[in-house]
Structure 1
Amino acid sequence: MNMFEGRSTAAAGEVSHGGFSPKARMIAPACDGGQGTAGTFVSREFSVEEVSSPVRLTISALGLYRAFINGKRVGNDLLTPGWTCYDDRIAFQSYDVSGLLQEGENRIEIWLGDGWYRSQILWASNPIFNCWGDRIAAIAELSTEDGSLLATDETWRSGFTPVVRSGIYYGEDFDARIVPEDSAGVEVLEFDKTLLVPHEVEPVKELTPFSPKDSWTEDDGRQVFDFGQNAAAYIRICVKGRAGASVRVEHSEVLGPDRFFDNRNYRSARAELIYTLKGDGEEIHAPLFSFMGFRYARVTLPDGVELVSIQSVPISSVPVQAGGFTSGVPAVNRLVENSIWSQRSNFIEIPTDCPQRDERLGWTGDAQVFAGTACWFADSQRFLTKYLRDVMHDQRPNGAVPHFSPDPTRLHPIDARGDWAGSTGWGDAIVIIPWQVYLHYGDDAVLRECFPAMQRWLDYLWGISDGPVIRPPAVWGEHGFTFGDWLQPVGDNRKPRPTIADDCAATLYHFISTDLASRIAGIIGDEAAASRLAARAEQIRTAFRHEFFSPSGRIAHNDQTSWALAFLYGLVPSEYAEAAKSYFRRVVEETDGVIGTGFIGTPALLPALTELGMLDLAEKIFLNRKVPGWLYQVERGATSIWERWDAMAEDGSIYDPDMNSYNHYAYGAVCQWLFEYVAGIKPVASAPGFREIDLDPAILPQLSPVSAWHDTRLGRVEAGWSLEGNSATYRVVLPEGATGRIAATDARKNLSIDGQAVPGGESARLSAGEHIIRFTI
């Protein structure tokens, strides 16, 4: 029986592109005033004879949407339909709405917001509005297994929502006195439904809210609340008072000296919530179409308004933790938590650099250095694969990979700085991220999907200087420009420490990606490409030696980043190995334990020192509590990872608020080292997805006891060790389908597994289950 009076049912299976039948159209509210104006909705009243079978709402939008049936919200996903390169793909969602329908009259409303689609993108000096279009609109369809029952078309109506204005950077203004009423019609837009794809990632969800840890009142009467955690979130308030009174909520990540509320680092992002009361008892509100990055909220209450309660509600696309690490050092454990929170905060539809200021972009460099860590802390397979599709769409015809994706500058070029694409270390995301996804999840589909883009990127790199050594221009935005080792610290400016030069950094990454792509080609069965790329990698290796090594074995710039990357990726000639180790040790010792690397060098530094057996230096640098260093941030009260090593001075003052984020995951990439080297759980490329694990713990005495866990596709892996004197006890738990391998080495003597001795120089294979391993260091 047809549930909807007056509407014909589509034939079973009658579906067009994007999961919608031909009758579903993209409709825009006729009353919409454009970007930055009052929020609008589209609506339809319909009649149901009986609710006798499951009914699904399939829905998407240009902009953001939130749907209601009979005044009740559809689903609990946030920021739908999500963020993609909208000229390539737009996600749609599908919900079972049977429980929201009633026999007789029904009403559906789809509220719309500007979202990423047309609100401000980029910073104040180059703001882009209406990036992907200037009309917000919705497409939706109610259907059963038998076919379409109701779809968006020219018969729908439109009107204004209580959302007075919203934007990703702007925040949201909401007037609860406004009752949505149909006041205008709709316009059917020309729209290519082949753009519509099922949502490629898990939807953004709320996490457990935070209540204030502390609060105080400023001299002017404004109340400040400390929620104890910096996060991508929004405020949920409960207020009561007179109709027409407006509550203002501002946000900040940090406080200046004397608890000064300071959000100058938000730049042109207003990032505020203004709620105008209806005046009808207690009123609960949270924004619909925006979010902020903050730890602190400042609330301005007008006379006659009471704040009943307030919460910070974190949101994320990766709300479920998939791995953890603890040690005997509380500050290290807090650092791990900070990394998890920075991932949660910046994994909202795409991997962004920060969640607070007028940026929040999918920077490829940040994503590639953190990808391995991301896969340890959360199931990131779908999330990163979806992001790579955006990156590939934004890849330029000449092969240059964008600095960030989705990339608004591809559609709206910023002439002052050339094309925002092509930086080594950043564009190499197209090679490195697929590799990390493959290692962790064991599916070569991502390698096959991305390999053509990898080849175009590698050809672009070779073409920068027509050869293996890349010589980037110094002028920002010119062809081949590189960010190098972004934000690499130089120490005392009167006598700065050496830093890596752009040509060395670029050529290092040229080799890293070429060598890795040759391995990928072999895995996917393209032997011709594997051979060609392997030969090219050898050309780069030979040229690198000639260009950057002296006859004594000293690398050109003698800095921590150069040495770390060269050692970790096999670019130190064997005949120079001993001399090179001495140079590397000395350049690390000369900093007295403070780190000397930026975005691309930091993930390599501790792994390189560990593989060379310099565990004393790795331990000293990691546990250093001076700036620059990881634990300096923790001791300054950080609850997420900072963008800059020197983001805050010891007296609490903010450094350079024009470019300073306190929620940037890049330096949290050190956690990959904690899992793979300190806990000793390394996925093996020949048996990816943790089918085989290289068990090789680096015993750093001051960290004892260490414990780590990770949920793989096969089940949970656990590993941890404790140290008594020079005797280590290493406990490992492997799931069914996984095997481990551990070796008796000079650094790991008297090795026994479950009471059985392993001869020196030999290795042993571990099956699924729990194992107790003992050795001396």
Structure 2
Amino acid sequence: MEKAAPDSVATGWVAEMIRPLSDQGVGTPASFVSKTFRLDRVGGREVLRISALGLYRCFINGRRVGHDLLTPGWTAYDKRLSFQTYLVADLLVPGENEISIWLGDGWLRSQLMWGKAPIFNTWGEHIAAIAELRAAPEDRDPILVTDASWQSGELPIRKSGIYYGEAFDARLTPVVSAGVEPLPFDSSILVAHETTPVRELVPIEVVRSWTDAEGRTVYDFGQNLGGYVAFSVKGDAGARVEVEHGEVLDQSGQFYNGNYRTAAARFEYTLAGKGEEHYRPTFTFQGYRYARVTISGNARLTHIVSVPISSVTEVKASFTSANPLVNRLVLNTLWSQRSNFIEVPTDCPQRDERLGWTGDAQVFAGTACYLADTQSFFTKWLRDVVADQREDGAVPHVVPDPTRLKPQDYPGFFGSTGWGDAIAQVPWQVYLHYGDTAILRETLPAMVKWVDFVWSISDGPIVSPPRQWGGRGFTFGDWLQPSGPSAKPLPTIGDDAAATIYLFITASLVGRIARIVGETGIAARMEDMASQVKSAFAREFVTASGRLAYDDQTSYALAILHDLVPEEHREAAKDYFKSTILRSEGRIGTGFIGTPALLPSLVKIGEPGIAADVFLQEQVPGWLYQVKMGATTIWERWDAIAPDGSIYNPQMNSYNHYAYGAVCQWLFEGVAGFRPDPQDPGFATIIFEPTIIPELSPVAASHDSIAGTIKAGWSVEGETVTYDVEVPDQSRGLLRLPAGARNAQVDGQAWNGGDEPLSAGQHRIVFELAPAARLGLDKLDINARTP
């Protein structure tokens, strides 16, 4: 059975959205709707169009339709609801047939949000299904539709929820017990599923297991992920298997999931007692590395595996170096992307959150586009961002936004700079990687509304956000920025500087985007706003000596990277920037918005050695610290586990958050040294510009772009660097060598000293790098320029 191309199916819906009258509401047993029907013949081109309020899984004659998970997916359900189309001829027979659609609470009505203010029934109180069977994709008259003639009943799934998990009683058989009721429903909101479906990845076997003091078995799968366990079991009817999930072990090596907060994150399976039984959940997923299994009654597991699931199923990039910690960091980032790219780019897959935080997505989008094909994934999500955007232009903190229809406990859950900027930053990355001008044109009006909103927060170029949550224009600033030693905390960027910098970044970018799509009037207005912000920033946040007001790593990194420091102060600002690094003893002093800019800005000021020292240091806070501590995904907090193994406050501590994995964009674009040319996107022109860090030699990286496979790698012998690159057949390259490169040759010919054009194919570049190019922190004097 194959999935049909959505655009090949006749438009217009005849079917009704029907709810099962057997359903008793959120948190109660799942239900099904079903219908028997007759076919005179099976023509071989039959298609099923199907969607649901809640989650569905469909069966025809007892056989599953498709292999997609968590359908119909997650969107702003009141404005956009996805449907899937499947070729189902191989499931049909001449004569009598039976179709059954299982329905679960899913994102529609199971708990979303956290703590003392969970939201239930977010987008509706009723689970329901809509489906049409047609003899051929182009047929306009269906041979079967959901309507009032269908029947319903309860399922063996006794409870399910995104955060809760699932309880399944295999002793029960689905039996019709009630009818159905058509619901008022506007079928115009139905849209063909816009991205790759969620699918299972290769299962992971247990790497070790042990029995705790209470007799429960703990299984370690060796990898934190988003997915579920699947197991086989034998035993008596009524015996029960309970599975709990955890990401880490506590300081004493015991199973731990206190950081899940109010998410039960458990599976309960009650045996039917009929030979070997097999179970994996239907309407939920969890984030975990460890599973703790409690068996009640006479039963034993015969097999258990961990099954990752994701919307991104193919790896599109690789990066290796001589440092195994760096290599594992890249792999950890990939696993965090897989775990959190499940229909929506979420922050985490485990606790009572799992929401599409816009700030996380905007800093990570570039890395995401390297590691996987995310064009359709981001396009689909951006349409939900637009759907959830408020009338005044404010973009929600999370999309799809559960608070838009239920704002009581979360008033003003929108409008943060650095978060709402995703409406411009994410389309821009999609454009760079895929040459997609359509997404720029589609989202431009929303981008303009966002920039105007940010300007309106303080009615001018300097943005002064309110401090209190829910205030209009509240900002998260540089979220989770470490403060350094507790004896003398380091300064951190203020909300006003962070918000003003982001207003400049996005106004400039929207002006650029407007010119690309031919909206010159919008471009001129945005460019004027950006110019005003730049001038105001210099007056407000740059002192006469060239020091920035908050004198912290994020301020310098963002201001230098985006050319906000006036020319007459740049040299001084560079020294002050370096002093912030020295004061932190080479450790990271940036949070969510500052971290992606930190290393590129150090390279930009001609300090690749300092960038290398910051990146490679293995203490907390640092990228490699968490790898040394055994992380298999990216942590939310730099200090999620202390060096002594103690766990940070569980109220906000996830071990699977991809945001800090945004450093991988620098590994590809900076270290390996290839990136798309904004003037010729989609890797039609590839800029090769490596940053040589001898400690990483040899480096090798690749990316399967839409233009073909790009490869770049280098090795260092003494002062000689050998840089090998491969340009796809459909592309051309531009070579830019690092400052200090000497005696360079390109394919045996002397380098011309400027941008060297590279034709499609393989090229070898050899050059010498002066020792001074690697000078790091040990060569700097913290007193060279003091605040």
Q: What is the TM-score with the length of structure 2 in the denominator?
A: 0.95
Letter in 2 for 1:322: K
- In structure 2, which of residues 724, 736, 757 is the aligned counterpart of residue 765 of structure 1? 757
Give the whole-Å Cα distance in 2 for the aligned partners of 1:337 and 1:722: 21
* Superposition deviation, residue 410 in structure 1: 0.8
- In structure 1, which of residues 694, 697, 702 is the aligned counterpart of residue 695 of structure 2? 702
Give the whole-Å Cα distance in 1 for the aligned partners of 2:737 and 2:223: 43
Partner of 2:190: 196
The answer to whether the aligner puts 1:733 opposite 2:701 as a matched pair is: no
Partner of 1:57: 48
Contact 1:17 1:194 in 2 (8 A): no
* Superposition deviation, residue 713 in structure 1: 1.0
Deviations 1:507-559 (A, max 9, x none): 00010001111111110111111111111111100000000011111111110
Deviations 1:582-626 (A, max 9, x none): 111111122112100000000000010011121111111111110
Q: 1:745 to 1:384 in 2, by over 3 A?
A: closer
The answer to whether the aligner puts 1:74 opposite 2:65 as a matched pair is: yes
Partner of 2:767: 775
- In structure 2, which of residues 474, 486, 489 is the aligned counterpart of residue 481 of structure 1? 474
Contact 1:154 1:186 in 2 (8 A): yes
The answer to whether the aligner puts 1:647 opposite 2:640 as a matched pair is: yes
Contact 2:43 2:135 in 1 (8 A): no
Give the whole-Å Cα distance in 2 for the aligned partners of 1:47 and 1:18: 22
Give the whole-Å Cα distance in 1 for the aligned partners of 2:9 and 2:117: 34
- In structure 1, which of residues 389, 412, 433 is the aligned counterpart of residue 383 of structure 2? 389
Letter in 1 for 2:583: E
Partner of 1:29: 20
The answer to whether the aligner puts 1:109 opposite 2:100 as a matched pair is: yes
Q: 1:194 to 1:276 in 2, by over 3 A?
A: same
The answer to whether the aligner puts 1:517 opposite 2:510 as a matched pair is: yes
Q: 1:533 to 1:21 in 2, by over 3 A?
A: closer
Partner of 1:259: 253
* Superposition deviation, residue 304 in structure 1: 1.4
Contact 1:424 1:510 in 2 (8 A): yes
SS of match in other structure, 1:278:
coil
Q: 1:746 to 1:36 in 2, by over 3 A?
A: closer
Letter in 1 for 2:763: H
SS of match in other structure, 2:330:
helix
- In structure 2, which of residues 516, 522, 526 is the aligned counterpart of residue 533 of structure 1? 526
* Superposition deviation, residue 745 in structure 1: 5.6
Partner of 1:8: none
* Superposition deviation, residue 689 in structure 1: 0.3
Letter in 2 for 1:116: W
- RMSD of the alignment, in Å? 1.4
Q: 1:20 to 1:452 in 2, by over 3 A?
A: closer
Letter in 2 for 1:267: R
* Superposition deviation, residue 763 in structure 1: 2.5
The answer to whether the aligner puts 1:118 opposite 2:118 as a matched pair is: no
Partner of 2:705: 712
Partner of 2:586: 593
Deviations 1:120-159 (A, max 9, x none): 0100221110000000000111112274111111111111
SS of match in other structure, 1:23:
coil
Partner of 2:436: 443
The answer to whether the aligner puts 1:355 opposite 2:346 as a matched pair is: no
Partner of 2:322: 328
* Superposition deviation, residue 16 in structure 1: 13
Identity of aligned residues (%): 58
Contact 2:148 2:180 in 1 (8 A): yes
Letter in 1 for 2:34: S
Q: 1:623 to 1:734 in 2, by over 3 A?
A: same
Partner of 1:693: 686
Give the whole-Å Cα distance in 1 for the aligned partners of 2:12 and 2:341: 32
Letter in 2 for 1:345: S
* Superposition deviation, residue 47 in structure 1: 2.0
Q: 1:697 to 1:16 in 2, by over 3 A?
A: closer
SS of match in other structure, 1:750:
strand
- In structure 1, which of residues 601, 608, 619 is the aligned counterpart of residue 601 of structure 2? 608
SS of match in other structure, 2:626:
helix
SS of match in other structure, 2:670:
helix
Partner of 1:235: 229
Give the whole-Å Cα distance in 1 for the aligned partners of 2:737 and 2:686: 16
The answer to whether the aligner puts 1:43 opposite 2:43 as a matched pair is: no
Tell me the matched-pair count. Answer: 761
SS of match in other structure, 1:191:
coil
Give the whole-Å Cα distance in 2 for the aligned partners of 1:82 and 1:634: 33
Give the whole-Å Cα distance in 1 for the aligned partners of 2:628 and 2:738: 37
Q: What is the TM-score with the length of structure 1 in the denominator?
A: 0.97
Q: Matches of residues 219-368 of structure 1 in structure 2 within 5 Å?
A: 219-368=213-362
Partner of 1:9: none
The answer to whether the aligner puts 1:170 opposite 2:161 as a matched pair is: no
Give the whole-Å Cα distance in 1 for the aligned partners of 2:521 and 2:450: 18
- In structure 2, which of residues 551, 567, 575 is the aligned counterpart of residue 574 of structure 1? 567
Letter in 1 for 2:766: R
SS of match in other structure, 1:174:
strand
Partner of 1:10: none
Give the whole-Å Cα distance in 2 for the aligned partners of 1:365 and 1:763: 35
Partner of 2:3: none
Give the whole-Å Cα distance in 2 for the aligned partners of 1:612 and 1:141: 61
Give the whole-Å Cα distance in 2 for the aligned partners of 1:167 and 1:564: 42
Q: 1:464 to 1:81 in 2, by over 3 A?
A: same
Give the whole-Å Cα distance in 2 for the aligned partners of 1:141 and 1:401: 36
* Superposition deviation, residue 249 in structure 1: 0.3
* Superposition deviation, residue 385 in structure 1: 1.1
SS of match in other structure, 1:511:
helix
Partner of 1:218: 212
Deviations 1:427-463 (A, max 9, x none): 1111111111100000111110111011111111111
Partner of 2:371: 377
Letter in 2 for 1:274: E
Partner of 2:404: 410
Contact 1:744 1:758 in 2 (8 A): no
Q: 1:17 to 1:699 in 2, by over 3 A?
A: closer
Letter in 2 for 1:483: F
Partner of 1:420: 413
Deviations 1:294-342 (A, max 9, x none): 0000001123101000000000000111111111100000000000000
Partner of 1:5: none
SS of match in other structure, 1:468:
coil
Give the whole-Å Cα distance in 2 for the aligned partners of 1:675 and 1:735: 16
SS of match in other structure, 1:618:
helix
Give the whole-Å Cα distance in 2 for the aligned partners of 1:630 and 1:16: 44
SS of match in other structure, 1:344:
helix
Letter in 2 for 1:346: N
* Superposition deviation, residue 22 in structure 1: 4.6
**Which 4+ runs in 1 deviate beyond 3 A?**
15-23, 743-746
Partner of 1:429: 422
Contact 1:120 1:129 in 2 (8 A): yes
Name which of structure 1's ranges 300-309 and 126-135 shifts more when overlaid on structure 2.
Answer: 300-309
Name which of structure 1's ranges 326-335 and 738-747 shifts more when overlaid on structure 2.
Answer: 738-747
Give the whole-Å Cα distance in 2 for the aligned partners of 1:223 and 1:738: 54
Give the whole-Å Cα distance in 2 for the aligned partners of 1:776 and 1:94: 58
Q: 1:22 to 1:341 in 2, by over 3 A?
A: closer
